[in-house]
Structure 1
Amino acid sequence: MLLVSSYVQAADVLVFTDQKHAVVAPNDVPVIHLDAPAEIEAELASELPADSQRAEVIVRQRLGDGGTELQARLASAYQGVVDAWHLGITKLPAIVVERRYVVYGDADVSRAITAIEAYKRGQQ
C-alpha cells in the first residue's frame, strides 16, 4: 500500500464512506463510515419481540450491557456524521485533506492526495 505523501500528514486526512463504497487507505488515516450509526442501531434492534414494552426492556438491557464501549462507539459514529455534515460532504467516498480540499468518488486515498497536492501546486 502506498504511504500518505510526505507533504500531507495522515492527521490532515479524513475519509468518509459507507459499507457500499470500499476505500484503500493507509492504516493511520481515519476512515469514517457514515452508516455506522444505523449498523449499531440495527444491532440493538436485532430480533426484538413485537410487544413494544418487552422490546423496550430488551433494548435498555442491551444498552446497559454495552456499557462505556457501546457509548463510545455510538458517540464516535454520530460524531463522524456531524463532521461530514459540517464539512459539507455530499457524495461518497470523500477524501478530505486539511479540512479544505476534497476528492469525491475516488476509493484510493493515496491517489486522491496526489491529485490534491497537484492542484495545490498549481495554485501557487
Structure 2
Amino acid sequence: MKRRILIAAAVCSAGAVWAQGAPSVTTVEVFANSATNLSTPSQPPYVLQVYRVDALAQLGRQFSARLPANEAQARAYMQQQEAQIRARYKDQITQAANGMSLAMHYRLTRLPAVVVNREAVIYGVADVQHAVGLYQQSKARGAR
C-alpha cells in the first residue's frame, strides 16, 4: 500500500514539474480566410475556436446565387422565405460576425493568426499545434 502511495506521489510531482515547464494553454482562437488550409487537432486539451474572417462574404455569395435575377422576384422570394432564411443562416452569421469582431478587438494585421489564451498572437502559422508549441517555448524562455 505504501508503495502505491509513493508511486502516486511521484507521478503527481512529475506532473507538477512538467506543468511548470510547459505553460498552460486554455483557449486557442484561429483566424484565417477560406483559402487557408488549417491543420487543427481533433481533440485538443484546450478550447479551440476557428474563425473564417471572410465567412460573411462567402455566405452573401451563397445566398445571392440562390436569388432570382429579377429584382421583383427576388424581393418576393425574400418576403416568403425570410423566416426560413433567418433560421438556416443564424448560427453561421453569428459565428462570422463574432470572428470579425474578435479580429478587430485583437487588432490582427495578417492571416492566419493564432491567438493563445487571449494574450499572444502567432502570425503565419496554419498548424495550430505548432503555433501552440511556439507559444509554450516563448513562455518557457521568458520564465527563466
Is the TM-score greater than 0.5?
yes
- Shift in Å at residue 22 of structure 1? 1.2
- Shift in Å at residue 68 of structure 1? 2.6
Rounded to whole Å, the distance in 2 between the matches of 1:32 and 1:97 is 14
What SS is found at the alignment partner of 1:78? helix
Is 1:103 aligned with 2:122? yes
Specify the alignment match of 1:72 in structure 2: 91
Which amino acid letter does the alignment assign opposite residue 78 of structure 1?
Answer: A
Rounded to whole Å, the distance in 2 between the matches of 1:111 and 1:74 is 29
Is 1:89 aligned with 2:104? no
Rounded to whole Å, the distance in 2 between the matches of 1:88 and 1:62 is 37
What SS is found at the alignment partner of 2:108? coil
What SS is found at the alignment partner of 1:23? coil
% of aligned pairs identical? 28
Q: Write the deviation string for residues 14-40 of structure 1: whole angstroms up to 9, x where unpaired.
A: 001111111101235211111111111
What SS is found at the alignment partner of 1:85? helix
Specify the alignment match of 1:8 in structure 2: 25
Provide the aligned C-alpha RMSD in A.
Answer: 2.0
**TM-score (norm: length of structure 1):** 0.82
Aligned residue pairs total 118
Which amino acid letter does the alignment assign opposite residue 7 of structure 1?
Answer: S
Where does the alignment leave 5 or more consecutive residues of structure 1 unmatched? none
Rounded to whole Å, the distance in 1 between the matches of 2:38 and 2:68 is 37
Q: Report the structure number with the largest CA radius of gyration.
A: 2
2:23 and 2:139 in contact (8 A); partners too? no
Higher percent of residues as helix: 2
- Shift in Å at residue 44 of structure 1? 1.5
- Shift in Å at residue 89 of structure 1? 1.2
2:32 and 2:52 in contact (8 A); partners too? yes
- Range 86-95 or range 65-74, more displaced: 65-74
Specify the alignment match of 1:21 in structure 2: 36
Rounded to whole Å, the distance in 2 between the matches of 1:44 and 1:63 is 12
Specify the alignment match of 2:65 in structure 1: 46
What SS is found at the alignment partner of 1:46? helix
